Chains A and B, each alone.
Chain A
C-alpha cells in the first residue's frame, strides 16, 4: 500500500515529539485494524491510511493526521473504550476522535446530551474545526467506495452527505482551505455572519442548503427510509441538466415531470447513491412510496 509508505516518510520528517506520537498512532491503527476487511474486500487499514494521508496533504496538521489514524479504532474494534484514546493521545486528539465516533457514551457523559448525532458533531466542530475536517475527509473516501455497499445504504449515505457534509464543505471553503487555521477562520466568519451560535441553528442552516422544508423530524424519517422517498425538484433547467448526467441517470429513476408552462416539478426516486451539486440545486420530499 503506497499510502503506508508515504505516511512513514511524512512521520520520519516530523519533530521528535510529534514523530513519536504519530509513529505510535500508525502502529496502533495497524495493530487494531489488523485482519479487518472493508466491504470492497480490501484491508480496512487502507481506509485509515488514505484518510490520514489526505488530511496531512491538505492541512499539514499533526494532530489531525493522528486523529485520522485513530478515528475508527473505537467504532470498529471490539472492546476498545474511548478513554484508551484519550490516555494514549491526550485530550485534544481524544476529543476529535471521540466527536467523530458513533459510540457516544463517554462523550455524552462529559459534554452533556445532544438532540442527535449531527448536533453533537457540529457542537464539537464549533469547538475544534478539526472534527469537521476529519469527518469530511472520512466521508469523502467512504463515498468514493460506495458501490460496495447495499443500494439502500448507498442512498442513506448520500442523503446524509448531501444534507450535512456537502454544505459543510461550502461553509469551510473546504476545497480551497490549505490549513486548519484557514478552515477555522472560514467557519468562525460564517458563524458570525449568519448569527449562528448553537449546533441546532447550524444544523438547520445546513439542511436548508440543498433541501427545502427539511427539519429534524423529516430528516430522521428520510434517514430511516431513504430508498422509499420520492424526491422533487422545482427547477426545470436543473432537472434538464440532470437528465444528461450519467451518474444521475444510472442511480435515479424519474417518475414524472409536471408543468403548467411556468412552474415545474420533476419527481424521482434514488435507487443508489447520488449527490446533487450545483448552485440553486434544491430538492424536497414529494411523497413516500411503499
Chain B
C-alpha cells in the first residue's frame, strides 16, 4: 500500500486548533483530523440533499479531462487538493486507468484519517498513488509539496467536489500562482449559484438553514468544539449568508453562538468563552461563475476551458505565459 507522507504533526494540529479557538474561528482542516472526525464527515455524505446529489451525478470529470488535458503518452501527476477519502476521485481515476492514461495520483489532504480512507478506497487500483498530509493554508505548503512534485513534467492541480468552496479563495489563488509552472494546469470544480438575483440567493439560504436541523451536519460542525469539551447545550448553531463580491461568492458561514460562559482546557491552556460570543466553524461558498473566472484572470491565470452545468462549473486554468 502507498505510504502517507505527513507534513503536519498532531501537536501542530492541536496547537493550531488552540490558536483558532482564541481567534474564535476554526479552520476547516479541524473538521476532518481524527478517525472520529472523518467518520462523522462521511455520515454527512451518506444522504446528501438532492441538490448536492444532482451535482455529483451530473459532473463528468473524465470527459472534461479527456477533452481538455488528455495526453496519454505524457506522464501526468494528478494532484487532488483536499482529496478527502477519494470517493469522488475514484470514478475518474478508474476511467483514466481503463483508457490507458499515464498518470500518478497524488492525494493531498490535511486529515491523515481521511487519507487512510482514501488509500483504502483505492487499494485495488493499479495506478501509482502518493498521499500527502498537508494543509494548503500552512506557510510551508508550497516548499514542502514542491519537493514531492518536482519530478513530474506535467502536473494537474485539481480541486474536485467543490472543496475549493470551503477555503478562502484568495489564499488558494495566491499560493497556487506562486507554485505552479507555465505548463501546469489548475482544474477547479465549484458549486455555482442558480442566479445572481436575490430570490435565488434566498433559496440557497433556505437550503443552508435546513442543515441546522440535520443531526449528521450538526455532529460534523460541532465536532471540533466537542473535542475540546464544549457542551452543545451551551449555545446554538447558526448560519449567516454573506456576499463576497470580489470573487462572486455567496458564503454560508456556520457558527456556534454561546449562551453560557464556557471554560475550555486543552493542551495545558485555559480559554474562557463568554455568553454572546460566536465561534466561526465552517464555510461553504457557492460561486457566480463569471466573477469566479474573472478573479482567477486578475491573478495571472488564463482560462483554458470551462464546462458549466445548472449548479456547478468546471474550469481549467494555466498560468499566464
Contact = CB atoms under 8 A, between A and B. Distances in A.
Given A243-B199, A244-B199, A257 B257 contact: no
A109 B242 CA distance: 53
Given A255-B242, A255-B243, A249 B198 contact: yes
A5 interface: no
Contacts of B236: 260-261
Contacts of B237: 260-261
B241 interface: yes
A243 B237 CA distance: 25
Contact of A254 (B238, B239, B243): B243
A260 B243 contact: no
Contacts of A44: none
B213 interface: yes
Interface in B98-141: none
A284 to B, nearest CB: 18
B199 A256 contact: no
Contacts of B242: 255-256
User: Number of contact residues on A: which range applies?
Assistant: 10 to 19
Contacts of B209: 259, 261
B197 interface: yes
B201 interface: yes
Nearest to A249: B198
A239 B206 CA distance: 12
B202 A260 contact: no
A95 B241 CA distance: 52
A256 B197 CA distance: 14
A260 B257 contact: yes
B243 to A, nearest CB: 7
A114 interface: no
Contacts of B197: 243, 249
Contacts of A249: 197-199
Contact of B212 (A240, A248, A256, A261): A261
B205 interface: yes
B240 interface: yes
A258 interface: yes
B175 to A, nearest CB: 28
A165 B243 CA distance: 33
Contacts of A254: 198, 201, 243
Given A249-B197, A261-B209, A256 B202 contact: no
Interface string B270-301: 00000000000000000000000000000000
Interface in A202-243: 239-240, 242-243
B32 to A, nearest CB: 25
Contacts of B238: 258-260
A92 to B, nearest CB: 49
A180 B209 CA distance: 50
A256 to B, nearest CB: 5
Contacts of A257: 202, 205, 240-241
Given A244-B199, A254-B198, A261 B213 contact: yes
A243 B201 contact: yes
A240 B257 contact: no
B212 A259 contact: yes
B212 A243 contact: no
A240 B240 contact: no
> Chain A CB within 10 Å — which of B198, B202, B243 has the most?
B198
A243 B228 CA distance: 40
A221 B237 CA distance: 34
A260 B221 CA distance: 14
Interface in B239-254: 239-243
Contact of B202 (A243, A258, A261): A243
Contacts of A261: 209, 212-213, 236-237
B241 A256 contact: yes
A258 B239 contact: yes
A256 B202 CA distance: 10
A243 to B, nearest CB: 4
A259 B202 CA distance: 12
Nearest to A256: B242
A244 B242 CA distance: 19
A242 to B, nearest CB: 8
Interface of B: 197-199, 201-202, 205-206, 209, 212-213, 236-243, 257
Q: 5 shortest A-B CB distances, which residue pairs?
A: A243-B198, A261-B212, A257-B241, A243-B202, A258-B240
Given A242-B198, A248-B198, A257-B240, 6 more contacts: A254-B201, A255-B242, A256-B240, A256-B243, A259-B209, A260-B212
10 contacts: A244-B199, A254-B198, A256-B241, A256-B242, A256-B243, A257-B240, A259-B209, A259-B238, A260-B238, A261-B209
Interface of A: 239-240, 242-244, 248-249, 254-261
